[in-house]
Structure 1
């Protein structure tokens, strides 16, 4: 068993023990240790994937070319700095290792925020960060062929309890959003983040409301109420930002744009959906002149029944 693996176990255990003590003053130490432990586990996965290599050649962050005497170069590790989170993800891909589908960014952001200012509820916020990243612990141990309970027995119950508590609240949050009569398909609402504390525990202030126009959000981490307009932007961005990125990358019109009726940046145009989440208006239709489909990008409020080309031709005729 390597020193890095031992250090990973120690760091995670210390982080959870600090977290269990409760006082806010220990939360920064808890976040630092737990976060460091996760990164060390990831580095151990890389090292075991190349058992014959020098560990620093696997996890070193800086290299320099050295002539090999035969007209080529060898890469030599510079210093003892090891890879950060971004580099770890990249090397996992290079090594053909699956990166866990879990949220470590919340933990990283929590640690950084605590170093710069005092959070309103650091204990509960760190609890969510631990719960969100818990699947990463399990996945790393699976890659290593190790049983996490064997190595983290003293803190395993705490890890499980935080995950269970988080999932219980998250389930209620998502249930309150799923009953809403949305104007188009919504997805990945568990990835929304509170504008105040970045928590993903976002639901409705009234969990029984099904009317989109009455949606008021609430963060069940910090208690912040989220206005209707902000909630619509969050729902649209979470549900369609990937489509918007892919469409833009392919040179197509974006999936999210400004609504020509209310001017909110919550109009969704995907080919299957063409509607504004804020005001509920849809400008889609068929051109009365040429039968071309009218999208939000074709729409002209002065000629709502015509596509952009036919609207242009009508204006040209009128000018003549």
Structure 2
């Protein structure tokens, strides 16, 4: 086996052994070791995909162009710094390798906080971030065509138990939100995070409630409850934030806005949907003067029946 693979196994085993203790100090050590092991596994996937190349030519972070003697240039590795998470994901794409779907960004954020000696969230949320990323270990081993049970025998039981426990609680959370009569379609609710501890294990305080306007959130990591308005902002962000980002990149108005009626950042304006998840109000209408469609970005509280242009022209006439 390669040195990268051996180091990956060692780091993951050490990380999970720290994780098993459950103590705050060991959990911080777990994050460092386990995260490092995950990145090493990913790097091993790249290296094995091009077995004839030098490893640093694949996972090196810095390259410098140098004359090749024939009028062109070659790129040589500079130093021993290797690629970070974002570069790994990019090179996986370039190598035609599937990047695991499990979320590692939360663990990365915790790991970066630890580098600055300041963990903003409770240690319990760090433990969840580790457990929720365990499927990545399995996915990387699948790419490597290695047996994770054999290589990680001493901690394999913990990986299975924690993964199963996390998925069981997460399913309970998502099930409690499934039958709500939402004002519009929702999705990606597993991306919501508790405002108190950063956990993604957010569901309803009353799992039997089906009324949209009675939704109160509850974190199944720290027990913190989230009020209706804040919960609606979280639901909207999880469901429409990606769409909002894409729309902005395309030069369009974002699909999430502050509601002009209740001021919650829970108004969805996607072209097909125009409604506030917090108060249920909509501003969608046709301008009474020119017929232009009025959406939340066109809406003027002083002239609710006019588009922004007609409202501006009316004000101009009134000033004259």
TM-score over 0.5 for the alignment?
yes
Deviation at 1:229, TM superposition (A): 2.5
- Once the two structures are superposed, the pairs formed by residues 78-227 of structure 1 within 5 Å of their partners are 78-114=78-114, 116-117=117-118, 121-122=122-123, 124-227=124-227
Residue correspondences, number: 319
- Quick one: distance in 2 between partners of 1:224 and 1:191? 17
Post-superposition shift, 1:284? 0.9
2-structure distance, mates of 1:268, 1:118: 33
Is residue 63 from structure 1 mapped to residue 63 from structure 2 by the alignment? yes
State the alpha-carbon separation in 1 of the partners of residues 311 and 29 from structure 2: 64
Aligned to 2:203, the other structure's residue is in SS state strand
User: Paired residue for 2:25?
Assistant: 25
Superposition pairs of residues 170-319 of structure 1, within 5 angstroms: 170-311=170-311
Shift in Å, 1:50: 0.8
Q: How far apart are 1:93 and its partner, in Å?
A: 1.8
Partner-residue secondary structure (3-state), 2:275: strand
Q: Secondary structure at the match of 2:218?
A: strand
**1:206 Cα deviation after fit:** 2.3
- The reply to whether residue 35 of structure 1 matches residue 8 of structure 2 is no
8 Å CA contact retained: 2:122, 2:197: no
In structure 2, distance between residues paired with 1:121 and 1:45: 33
With 81-90 and 288-297 compared, the bigger mean Cα shift is at 288-297
User: Hey, what's the Cα distance between the residues in 1 that align with 2:297 and 2:14?
Assistant: 55
Q: Can you give the 5+ residue segments of structure 1 that lack an aligned partner in the other structure?
A: none
TM-score by length of 1: 0.91
Secondary structure at the residue paired with 2:66? Answer: strand
Query: Is the 2:110–2:119 contact (alpha carbons within 8 Å) kept by the matching residues of 1?
Result: no
> Which has the higher mean CA deviation after the structures are superposed, 88-97 or 272-281?
88-97
Alignment partners' CA distance in 2, 1:36 and 1:312: 57
What's the TM-score once normalised by structure 2's chain length? Answer: 0.91
How far apart, CA to CA, are the structure 1 residues paired with 2:285 and 2:33?
57
SS of corresponding position for 1:74 = strand
Say if 1:82 and 1:312 are closer, same or farther in 2 by CA, change over 3 A: closer
User: Which runs of 5 or more structure 2 residues have no equivalent in the other structure?
Assistant: none
How far apart are residue 228 of structure 1 and its match? Answer: 2.5
Answer yes or no: is the 8 Å Cα contact 2:27–2:127 preserved in 1.
no
2:13 paired residue number: 13
Kindly state the Cα deviation for residue 37 of structure 1 after the two structures are TM-superposed.
0.9
**Offset at residue 118 of structure 1 (A):** 6.0
CA 1:272–1:159 in structure 2 vs 1: closer, same or farther (change >3 Å)?
same
CA distance in structure 2 between the aligned counterparts of 1:40 and 1:125, rounded to whole angstroms:
23
Cα RMSD over matched residues? 2.2
Query: What SS is found at the alignment partner of 1:76?
Result: strand
